[in-house]
Amino acid sequence: MARPITLHQPKRLEIGAGASARLGAWAENAQRVLIIASEHTIGFAERLGLGNKASIFSDVPAEPDDRALGAAREAARALRPDLVVGLGGGSVLDVAKLVAALWDGSQSLDDVVGPDKVEGRRTRLAQVPTTAGTGSEAGIRALITDSATHSKKAVESPHLLADIAILDPELTWSVPPAVTAATGIDAMAHCVEAFTNIRAHDLIDGYARMGIRLVGKYLARAVENGRDTEARAGMMLASYYGGICLGPVNTAAGHALAYPLGTRLGLPHGLANAIIFPHVLAYNAPVRKEKTAEILQALGLPVFDDESQVLNAAHRFCEDLGVEMRLSAHGADPAALESWAGEAHAIRRLMDNNPRDMSASDVLGIYRATL
Ligand SMILES: [Fe+2]
Q: What is the pLDDT of residues 337-368, one digit of tens each?
A: 999 999 999 999 999 999 999 999 999 999 99
d(CA 193, ligand 1 centre) in Å: 10
50-57 contacts at long range (C-beta below 8 A, 24 or more positions apart):
50/23, 50/24, 50/85, 51/24, 54/85, 55/79, 55/81
| CA distance linking residue 311 with residue 324, whole number of Å | 16
Distance 28 CA to ligand 1 centre (A): 33
- Assess contact for 118 and 159: CB atoms under 8 A: yes
| pLDDT for residue 63 is more than 90 | no
Residue 134 is predicted with a pLDDT of: 94
Q: Exposed, middle or buried, 132 (CB in 10 Å: 0-12/13-18/19+)?
A: buried
* Phi/psi of residue 154, nearest 5 degrees: -115, 125
Q: How far is the CA of 345 from the centre of ligand 1 (A)?
A: 17
Ligand 1 centroid to Cα of residue 368, in Å, is 21
pLDDT (0 to 100) of residue 96: 98
DSSP-assigned states of every residue in 218-281: HHHHHHH-TT-HHHHHHHHHHHHHHHHHHTTT---HHHHHHHHHHHTT---HHHHHHHHHHHHH
Q: Could you tell me the pLDDT band of residue 151, with boundaries at 50, 70 and 90?
A: confident
CA of 83 to the centre of ligand 1 (A): 26
Q: How many other CB atoms are found less than 10 A from the CB of residue 45?
A: 19
| Cα(321)–Cα(116) distance, integer angstroms | 39
* All residues at 6 or more sequence positions from 162 whose CB lies less than 8 Å from its CB, including other chains: 10, 11, 86, 97, 125, 126, 127, 137
Q: How far apart are CA 246 and CA 141, in angstroms?
A: 8
Query: Rounded mean pLDDT of 208-232?
Result: 98
Q: Which of 169, 132, 137 is nearest to 16 (CA)?
A: 169
The mean pLDDT value for 290-312 works out to 96
Strands 152-156 and 141-145: antiparallel
Q: What is the pLDDT of residue 251?
A: 96
Which alpha helices (H) appear in the chain, and where do they start and end? 23-26, 66-79, 90-102, 109-112, 177-195, 202-224, 229-246, 253-263, 269-284, 289-298, 307-320, 337-345, 348-351, 360-370
CA atoms of 93 and 16, how far apart (whole Å): 19
> How many angstroms separate the alpha carbon of residue 309 from the centre of ligand 1?
24
Task: Decide: 316 and 345 in contact? Cβ < 8 Å.
Answer: no
Give the sheet arrangement for strand 141-145, strand by strand. Answer: 114-115, 152-156, 141-145
How far does residue 314's CA lie from ligand 1's centre (Å)? 17
At 28, which helix (H) or strand (E)?
none
How far away, in angstroms, is 248 Cα from ligand 1 center?
Answer: 15
Report the separation in Å between the CA atom of 263 and the middle of ligand 1, taken as the mean of its atom positions.
13
| pTM for the structure as a whole | 0.96
Q: Which helix (H) or strand (E) holds 83?
A: strand 83-88
* Residue 172: Cβ within 10 Å count: 26
Query: What's the gap in Å between 352 CA and the centre of ligand 1?
Result: 17
Say how far apart CA 126 and CA 186 lie, in whole Å.
23
338 C-alpha vs ligand 1 centroid, how far in Å?
Answer: 23
Ligand 1 centroid – CA 260 distance (Å): 13
Query: How far does residue 197's CA lie from ligand 1's centre (Å)?
Result: 15
The yes-or-no verdict on residue 187 having pLDDT over 90 is yes
CA of 134 from ligand 1 middle (Å) equals 5
Give the closest residue to 76 by CA, choosing from 124, 141, 133, 21: 124
d(CA 238, CA 246): 12
- C-alpha to C-alpha distances, 41 to 38, 60, 75, 139, nearest whole angstrom: 5, 10, 18, 21
Position 20, amino acid: S
Residues 6+ apart with CB under 8 A from 1: 201, 202
Neighbours of 346 (CB within 10 A): 11
CA of 29 to the centre of ligand 1 (A): 34
Q: Cα of 99 to ligand 1 centre, how many Å?
A: 21
CA atoms within 13 A on the CB side of 40: 16
Residue 286's pLDDT is 97
Q: How far is the C-alpha of 59 from the C-alpha of 40, rounded, in Å? A: 10
Mean predicted confidence (pLDDT) in 107-133: 97
Q: How many Å lie between the centroid of ligand 1 and the Cα of residue 270? A: 6
State pLDDT tens for residues 318-334. Answer: 999 999 999 999 999 99
CA of residue 120 to ligand 1 center, whole Å: 26
- Dist. CA 333 → ligand 1 center (Å): 23
